[in-house]
Structure 1
Amino acid sequence: MVTIKEIEFESLDALNKLYHELIDRPSDPKKLEEVFRSIQADSRYILLGAYVDGELLGSMMGIVCQDLVGDCRPFMVIENVVVSSRARRQGLGKKLISALESIAHEKECYYIMFVSGEKRKEAHVFYESMGYREEKVEGYRKHLSSH
Structure 2
Amino acid sequence: MVTIKEIEADSLEALNELYSELTGVTANPGKLKETFNMIKADSRYILLGAYTDGELLGSLMGIICQDLVGDCRPFMVIENVVVSSRARRRGLGKQLMTAVEAIAHKRNCYYIILVSGEKRKEAHVFYERMGYRDEKVEGYRKHLTSH
Q: TM-score range by the shorter chain?
A: over 0.9
Q: CA deviation at 1:72?
A: 0.2
Q: Specify the code of the residue in structure 1 equivalent to 2:54.
A: G
Give the number of equivalent residue pairs: 147
Are 2:136 and 1:136 aligned? yes
Listed one character per residue, the Cα deviations across residues 74-118 of structure 1 (whole Å, up to 9, x for unaligned) are: 000000000000000000000000000000000000000010000
- SS of the residue 2:138 aligns to: coil
Q: Specify the code of the residue in structure 1 equivalent to 2:88.
A: R
Q: CA deviation at 1:123?
A: 0.3
- Partner in structure 2 of residue 87 of structure 1: 87
Q: CA deviation at 1:138?
A: 1.2
TM-score, normalization by structure 1: 0.99
Are 2:145 and 1:145 aligned? yes
How far apart are the structure 2 equivalents of 1:5 and 1:144?
32
- SS of the residue 2:39 aligns to: helix
- Partner in structure 1 of residue 123 of structure 2: 123
Q: CA deviation at 1:25?
A: 1.8
Q: Specify the code of the residue in structure 2 equivalent to 1:47.
A: L
Q: Specify the code of the residue in structure 1 equivalent to 2:17.
A: K
How far apart are the structure 2 equivalents of 1:128 and 1:140?
21
How far apart are the structure 2 equivalents of 1:47 and 1:25?
19
- SS of the residue 2:81 aligns to: strand
- Partner in structure 2 of residue 109 of structure 1: 109
Query: Structure 2 stretches of 5 or more lacking a match?
Result: none
Aligned-pair identity in percent equals 77
- SS of the residue 2:3 aligns to: strand
How far apart are the structure 2 equivalents of 1:123 and 1:85?
12
How far apart are the structure 2 equivalents of 1:132 and 1:28?
33
- Partner in structure 2 of residue 44 of structure 1: 44
Q: Specify the code of the residue in structure 2 equivalent to 1:61.
A: M
How far apart are the structure 2 equivalents of 1:127 and 1:97?
9
Q: CA deviation at 1:146?
A: 1.0
Q: CA deviation at 1:141?
A: 0.8
How far apart are the structure 2 equivalents of 1:138 and 1:10?
38
TM-score, normalization by structure 2: 0.99
- Partner in structure 2 of residue 20 of structure 1: 20
- SS of the residue 2:46 aligns to: strand
